Structure 1
Amino acid sequence: MKLLLAIGSPLVVLGIIEVVLRIGGFGYSTDFFIRTRDGGAYTLNEQFRRQYYPGQRSVRGHPFKFGVEKGTNTVRIFVLGESAALGTPNPSFGFARMLGVMLRERYPERRFEVINAAMRGINSHIIRHIAHDCAKHQPDIAVVYAGNNEVVGFGAPDPGSPLVLQNLAVIQGRQVLRRTKLAQLVDAGAERLKRSMAAEQGMDYFRRQRLSFDDARRQCVYRNFRSNLEDICRSLTSAGCRVLLSTVPVNVVDFPPIGSLHRPFLSEAEKSEWERLYKEGARLEQAGQTSNAIVLYQRAAQIDDHFAELHFRIGRSLFALGQFEQGRLHYKLARDRDALQFRADSPINSGIRDVGKELGGHGVWLVDAEDRLGNSPLGVAGLPGNRLFLDHVHPRFDGDYTLACVFYEAITSILGDDLDGAAKARRPPLSRDECAAAIAFTGWDALEIDAAIAEMLSRPPFLDQLDHETRIKQLQSDLQAREAEYKARGLERELGIYRRAIERSPDDWELHYNFGVLLNTVGQHEAAIEHFRLVVKEFPDSAWCVFHLAETLVKARRFSEAEQQLRRILDVDPGFAPARDLLQPRAAGRRRVE
C-alpha cells in the first residue's frame, strides 16, 4: 500500500497540473494542422516542431492552406517526408510544387490540392504523427518520400546510448509525453535558460556521433523505420487514401561519405599498414595512375573494408576506367558504410521496397524513384550524381523535375479513368521548360539556391569529407563568376519572367513571395512590400511570412510599420529570434527598428 501511494501520489499531482494547464489554455496545439482565423481552412501549425525540437527553428515546414470542406471535384494530395521532399533550400522549386502545377495545367477540369506536409529535420517517427493527422482530412493520395534522417533524427541512437532506447515502444512513449502541457511547461523554462547559451554543433560533436554500419543500434533504426512505414501506410489507407511509397535516391557518385570508421579490433600494425597503402593509393590516383591505385586500395580493403572513404575512392577509380559494374558496388558501399549517415542507404530502401510489396494491392503503390533517377539520362552509369543533386540528398531543379514526372505518371495511372475518361489518351507531364516558366524558375534563383547549399556545405558536419576544401573553393569560384555576370547585365530578364508568370497565375502566393525577394535584390523595396503583403494576407499567422514583410519594411525605412509587424510576431511567438534580433539596437548588419 505504501509503495502504491509512493508511486501514485506524484502521478496524481502531475495529472492535476496537466488538467489545470489544459483548462487554463496554456501552451500550443501539438496537431500538425490548425484552423485559419476565419475557420474555413486548415494551415500549417508552425508550433508543431516544438514538441520534438523546442529550440531548433531550422526544423520547419512550408506554408499551405486547404479548405475544411473538400469539394466533390477536388483531388487532395499530401506529400510526406523530410527536407528533400519539402524542397531545400527553396520549397517553391521542389517536386511537390512542380507536381501540383503539372496536374492543374494538364487537368484544368479538376481541382488539385497538393499539400506539402514535409518538414526539414524530421524522420519517420514524426512523419508517422503527421500522417495520422493527414488521415483526418479526406486525403485521396499521399506521396511518402522519406528515409534520409533515420540514423540522425528524432529517436536516433547516440554512440553511447543503451540499446533499450531504440525500442520503438520507448520512442513512441516519449512522443506521447512530449505532447503534454506539462512537457511544454518544462520546455518553455528550458528554452528561456538556454536562449543566451545556444552554441553551434561543431565537428568535434559530429565526430563523437559516428556510428558503424554494423552497430546493433543502427539495425534497430532500420526495424523501427519499417514499422513506422507500415503504420504510416495503414493509417492513410484506412482513411481511403491511396499511398505512393517511394524509394529515396541520393547523391552516390559525387558526394563522399561524411564520416568513416575503421573496423573494431584493428591492431596498430594493421592500421599502420592500411594507412600506408591508402596514402600511396591516393598519391597514385592523383597522379593519374588509376590502375595501380586500385591495386593498393584493394590491398588496404583486405586489411579493413569498413572505412567508407576507401570504398568511395575505389568506386571513383573504377568509374574512371569504365568498370562501372564493380564501381557501382563500391560507391554503394561508401554510402552504406558512412558513419555519419545523413542519406537513405541500402537497408532503408530495402525496407521501403519490402513494405511496398507487402502492402501492394492494399492501397499502396511502390514507386522506385531511386532506380528511375539513377537510370535517367542525368544519371551516371546507373547512379545519381551532381547532375541530379545539389548535395547529398537535396535534388537540384532537374532532379526535382524528374521526381515530379515520376509521381505525376504514378498518380495519373492510379486515378485512371477518373481523370481521362475511358476514351481519352493519358496526358503527358509538362516539359522541363514549361514547368520552369510556370513557377518562374530563373538563373538567378538557381544561383541563390547554389549559394545557400555552398554555405551549408562549408559548415559541420561536412568538414571531414574527402576533397572538402577543394570542392568548396570550386563552388565559391563558380558562384563569384555567375554573380559577376549578373552584376554586368542586370536582372531585367528575370524580372520579366516573374511578371509574366504572375500575369498567368495572379493568385499564386509563392510567385509573389519569390518576386518580392527578387525585387529586394534590385533595391525595389516599395514594390517588394506589396508582394509580401499579399503573402501575409494569405498566411497572416505565419511568423516567417510576416517577418519577411517586416524585414522589407526596414529596408524601405518604414520603421514604425516594421516594428508593428515584428511585435505582432512576438505577441504570438515570443521566442522567435529573427524578430527579436531585428528589434535590437545592435543587431548585426541591420538598422535598429525605431
Structure 2
Amino acid sequence: MTQKTSKKSLSRSQLFTFRLLALTVVPLVLLVGIELCLRLFGFGYSTDFFVQTELDGKPYWRENPKALWRFMPPSMARQPRPQMIPVEKADGVTRIFVLGESAALGDPEPSYSMGRILKILLQYHFPDQQFEVINTAITAINSHVILPMARELTEMKGDYWLVYMGNNEVLGPFGPGTVLGDQMPPQWLLNLSLKAKTTRFGQLLSGLESGSGTSSGKEWTGLRMFMEQTLKDSDPRMESVQRVFQRNLNALLEEAKQSGVRVALSTVPVNQADHAPFASSDPDGLTSEEAQLWEKSMMQAKQLLDSNLFVEALNALQQIEKLGESHAELQWLIGHCLSSLEQKEASLPYFKKALELDTLRFRADQRINHAIHESADLYQGDWIHLVDAEAALASKAKKGLPGDDFFWDHVHMKFQGNYLVALLTADWIAKDLRARFNLEVKESSQWLSVRDVAKFLGLSLWSDYQMTTQMLQRMNQAPFTQMVNHAQRMERLKVQLDQQSRGAQAESFEPQAAVYLGLVRMKRDDWVYQDQFAKFLESFGHKKKAITTWREVLKIMPHYLIGRYQLAMLLGEDASTAQEAEILARALIQERPEAPEFIRALGRSLYAQSRDPEAVAAFQKAYELREDDLESVMMLGAALDKAGQVQEAIAIFEKALALNSELKAAHQSIAAIYRRLGNEPKALEHEKQVSTAELEGDEEIVELF
C-alpha cells in the first residue's frame, strides 16, 4: 500500500514538473529559436547607439541612426551627427563627449557648436595636448534617450562629459505632450518595451503593431507637429516631468561617477526677453464685461506697440493684468513694455512668468533648471561641476535675461551663446587638468576671444548668411507665426540677411575661399572643414571643385549621408557622371527607402541618362512621399515634360504654383510648354505672372536640369 502511494505521489510530482517546463522552458526555447532565426536571416537592426566599423584597417565606432527607432517611429527619427571615433584612444588624448538635444548639437549649423568651440579653446590653451570633442547630441531627443546613450558611452573611454539637456522633456519621447509615441507610459512598461525592442522578435512585434516595418505613416515636419500639444503650468503632469527628468539625470550622473567620467553639468538658458510665448491659455471665469475689456485692451495694446507707444500700451495692459495672471502673452507684453522703457529690473518677473505659462513647452523652464541645480548639489565632488549657463547668459544679456543677443529662436544659440557655454566648460576642464596632471598652458594663459575662435572655425559672412536664411525659412512657419512679436522678429532677421548678403555675392568668393582653403589644408583630418568648404563651393557654382571636395569629405567620413547625397546630386547633373550618381543614389535609398531626397537624386541621375520613364517614376515616388516639397514637384514636372507628357507636366507645375503662387520657374515652365503647343495667349498669361523678385531657392529650381 505504501509503495503504490509513493508511486502515485511521484507521478504527480513528475506531472507538475512537466507542466512547469511546458509553461516556462518550452516558450523560452521557442523565443530563443525565433530570435536566432530572425538574426540569421538578417531581420531587424542593432539598437546600440554606436556600432563598430573599420577605416584604413583601424577599428572605429560610428553612430547608428537606427538606435532611435526604439524611442520613436523610424520616419520621425532625426539623423545623429556622423562620427568616426577611434576604438583605441591614443596616449595623451583627452576625450570629451557632449550630450544633449538640438541646442547642444549646434542647430542651425553644428559646425559652430559649443563642442567645436570647446575643442578650439582647449587645444589652443594646451598646445601639447590632444583633444577629441565628440558631439552625440541629436534633435528631438530627451533624457529618456540620453540616459541609455550615456550608459553606452561609459565603455568608450571618455574623460569628460558636457551635459546640456532639458528643452524636450515635455514634447520629446514619452513626454506628456509628445507626438513621437506613447505619452508618459508607466515606468515599468516603458522599461519593458525598450528592453523588448533590443531583440529582433520585439522589433518584429513592434513593426506588426504599427502596421509597417519602417514607417509609422507620419513624417517629421518640425515644431508644427506639436501645435495641439499644449499643457498648462497647473497641469499635474508638469510635476511628473520634473520628477522623471531628475531621476534620469541622477541615473546618468551615477553612471558617470561609477565609470570615472568627470562631468560638466550645464543649466539650460532659453530666449525669454525677445521670444514671446508660443501659446497661452485663455483667462478662466471672466464675466461678459471682463471679457469685453480683455479683448479691447489686448487689441489696443498691440496696436499701440506697433507704433512703439510703450507707455500707452503698458497702461492698456495694466488694466487687465489681474484678469490675465495666468496668460503667458499678457505677461510677456508687460515685460516687453517695461524693458522698452528701460525698466529692466521691473520687466524680469514678467518675462520669467511668461516662460512658465507658455503652454507650448519647447523651452526648459525653471522646474528643469531647479532639478539640474539639485542634482549638482546631490552629487558633490571634484568630478562634477555645475556650468551655470543660465546665470552667465543673463548676467551679460542687454535686457537682464537672454534674448536675441544670444539666441536665433527659442533655444538655439548664436555663436556668442555657444562660445560662452564652451568657455565656462573649458575653464573648469583646464583647472581640473592642471590640478590632476600639472599640464602646461600656452605662455599667454588668456582664453581665445570669441572673434579668434570664429576665425579658427571658419565662421564667415557666407556662413552667417546661410544660417540667417535657414532661420528665416524656419521662423516663417507655425508655431513661430502665431507669436505676438513674429512680424518684428522677421523684420530684424531680414535686415540682418540684407547686411550679410554680400557674403553670397561673386566678389566675396576669393577672400572667403582663401580662408576655407587655409583651414582645410591646416586640418586635413577634420571632415567638418571640408564639409563647409564643399557647401561653400557649391553655393557659388564651382561644381567641379565641390565634387572634388565632397570626395575628400567621404574619405574621412565614408558613411556621411548628406555628403553622399550632395555628391550624387552634383554628379547627376552630367551625363558623363550620371551612372556613378545612380549607384550612390541607389545605395542611399537602400539605407533609407522612404527619404524623398534620395529618390530625387536617383531620378536626377536617370534623367541625365535620358532614361525618361524611370526618371518620371522616381520623381513621382518622391512627390508622393512629400507633396509639399517644391523640388520634388518641379523635378517631376520637368521629367514629365521631357518625356512628352505635357498635359501632366502642366498639371504638376500648377501644383507647384499652388504651393508658391509667385514661383518664377513654374510660370516659366508652363509658358514654355504652351508656346511649343502654339498657345501664345496662355504662354503670355504665365509670363506676365513672373515676379521680378529673386525668390530664395527659385534659381536653383530653374537650373535643376
Contact 1:80–1:142 (8 Å) recurs in 2: yes
Contact 1:53–1:59 (8 Å) recurs in 2: no
The residue number in structure 2 matching 1:310 is 330
Give the drift of 1:443.
Answer: 0.6
Contact 2:171–2:178 (8 Å) recurs in 1: no
How many Å separate the matches in 1 of 2:267 and 2:224?
A: 32
Deviates more, 1:418-427 or 1:457-466: 418-427
Give the drift of 1:476.
Answer: 3.9
Q: Percent identity?
A: 30
The residue number in structure 2 matching 1:347 is 367
The residue number in structure 1 matching 2:34 is 17
Give the drift of 1:469.
Answer: 3.8
1:274 correspondence with 2:291: no
1:27 correspondence with 2:27: no
What's the RMSD between the two structures over aligned residues?
Answer: 3.3
The residue number in structure 2 matching 1:410 is 428
1:224 correspondence with 2:244: yes
Match of 1:358 among 356, 378, 381: 378
The residue number in structure 2 matching 1:146 is 165
Whichever residue aligns with residue 384 of structure 2, its letter is V
How many Å separate the matches in 2 of 1:412 and 1:555?
A: 49
Give the drift of 1:301.
Answer: 2.7
- Structure scoring higher RCO (CA < 8 A, sep ≥ 6) equals 1
The residue number in structure 2 matching 1:581 is 600
The residue number in structure 1 matching 2:399 is 381
Superposed CA deviations along residues 359-404 of structure 1, whole A, max 9, x for unmatched, are 121622111011111212xx12321111111111111112212222
The residue number in structure 1 matching 2:259 is 239
Distance 1:107 1:362, change over 3 A: closer
Deviates more, 1:4-13 or 1:38-47: 4-13
Contact 1:360–1:366 (8 Å) recurs in 2: no
The residue number in structure 2 matching 1:516 is 534
Give the drift of 1:95.
Answer: 1.1
How many Å separate the matches in 2 of 1:238 and 1:562?
A: 49
Superposed CA deviations along residues 190-249 of structure 1, whole A, max 9, x for unmatched, are 585886955666998644211101101121111111111101111112110001100011
How many Å separate the matches in 1 of 2:441 and 2:213?
A: 66
**Structure 2 residues without counterparts, runs of 5 or longer:** 1-15, 604-614, 620-631, 640-703
Contact 1:107–1:419 (8 Å) recurs in 2: no
Question: What TM-score do the two structures reach when normalised by structure 1?
Answer: 0.90
1:157 correspondence with 2:176: yes
Distance 1:3 1:41, change over 3 A: closer
Structure 1 SS opposite 2:74: coil
Contact 2:464–2:500 (8 Å) recurs in 1: no
1:300 correspondence with 2:328: no
Give the drift of 1:505.
Answer: 1.7
The residue number in structure 1 matching 2:91 is 72
Contact 1:203–1:463 (8 Å) recurs in 2: no
Deviates more, 1:523-532 or 1:538-547: 538-547
Give the drift of 1:101.
Answer: 1.9
The residue number in structure 2 matching 1:81 is 100
Whichever residue aligns with residue 260 of structure 1, its letter is S
Distance 1:438 1:284, change over 3 A: closer
The residue number in structure 1 matching 2:663 is none
1:95 correspondence with 2:114: yes
How many Å separate the matches in 2 of 1:267 and 1:226?
A: 41
Structure 1 SS opposite 2:115: helix
How many Å separate the matches in 2 of 1:107 and 1:326?
A: 44
The residue number in structure 1 matching 2:467 is 449
Instruction: Kindly report which structure 2 residues correspond to 1:389-538, keeping only aligned pairs within 5 A, or say none.
Output: 389-418=407-436, 420-421=438-439, 427-476=445-494, 478-480=496-498, 482-483=500-501, 486-487=504-505, 489-538=507-556
Distance 1:441 1:481, change over 3 A: closer
Whichever residue aligns with residue 406 of structure 1, its letter is L
Question: What TM-score do the two structures reach when normalised by structure 2?
Answer: 0.77
Structure 2 SS opposite 1:417: helix
Whichever residue aligns with residue 53 of structure 2, its letter is T
Distance 1:15 1:305, change over 3 A: farther
Distance 1:463 1:25, change over 3 A: same
Distance 1:262 1:565, change over 3 A: same
Contact 2:273–2:336 (8 Å) recurs in 1: yes
Instruction: Kindly report which structure 2 residues correspond to 1:83-232, keeping only aligned pairs within 5 A, or say none.
Output: 83-158=102-177, 165=184, 167-186=186-205, 190=210, 198=218, 206-232=226-252
**Structure 1 residues without counterparts, runs of 5 or longer:** none
The residue number in structure 1 matching 2:612 is none
How many Å separate the matches in 2 of 1:194 and 1:178?
A: 13
Whichever residue aligns with residue 408 of structure 1, its letter is A
Whichever residue aligns with residue 72 of structure 1, its letter is D
How many Å separate the matches in 1 of 2:592 and 2:71?
A: 17
How many Å separate the matches in 2 of 1:522 and 1:532?
A: 15
Superposed CA deviations along residues 263-320 of structure 1, whole A, max 9, x for unmatched, are 5555555444332332233334444443343343234231231111111101101112
Superposed CA deviations along residues 506-534 of structure 1, whole A, max 9, x for unmatched, are 22211111100111111111111121112
Superposed CA deviations along residues 405-428 of structure 1, whole A, max 9, x for unmatched, are 111112112222345548997833
Give the drift of 1:457.
Answer: 1.3
Whichever residue aligns with residue 255 of structure 2, its letter is S
Contact 2:224–2:479 (8 Å) recurs in 1: no
How many Å separate the matches in 2 of 1:370 and 1:567?
A: 46
How many Å separate the matches in 2 of 1:375 and 1:68?
A: 41
Deviates more, 1:509-518 or 1:573-582: 573-582
Deviates more, 1:12-21 or 1:53-62: 12-21
Pairs aligned (count): 592
Contact 2:49–2:67 (8 Å) recurs in 1: yes
Larger radius of gyration: 2
Give the drift of 1:166.
Answer: 5.1
Deviates more, 1:291-300 or 1:25-34: 291-300
Match of 1:260 among 280, 283, 301: 280
Deviates more, 1:318-327 or 1:334-343: 318-327
Structure 1 SS opposite 2:404: coil
Contact 1:83–1:118 (8 Å) recurs in 2: yes
1:251 correspondence with 2:264: no
How many Å separate the matches in 1 of 2:506 and 2:520?
A: 26
Distance 1:555 1:255, change over 3 A: farther
Structure 2 SS opposite 1:152: coil
Whichever residue aligns with residue 278 of structure 1, its letter is M
Contact 2:73–2:215 (8 Å) recurs in 1: no
Contact 2:277–2:355 (8 Å) recurs in 1: yes
Superposed CA deviations along residues 88-137 of structure 1, whole A, max 9, x for unmatched, are 12111111011112222221211211111111111111011111111111
Whichever residue aligns with residue 108 of structure 2, its letter is P
Deviates more, 1:394-403 or 1:148-157: 394-403
Distance 1:423 1:95, change over 3 A: closer
How many Å separate the matches in 2 of 1:568 and 1:207?
A: 36
Whichever residue aligns with residue 574 of structure 1, its letter is P
Deviates more, 1:502-511 or 1:36-45: 36-45
How many Å separate the matches in 2 of 1:10 and 1:309?
A: 58
Deviates more, 1:516-525 or 1:557-566: 557-566
How many Å separate the matches in 2 of 1:406 and 1:211?
A: 33
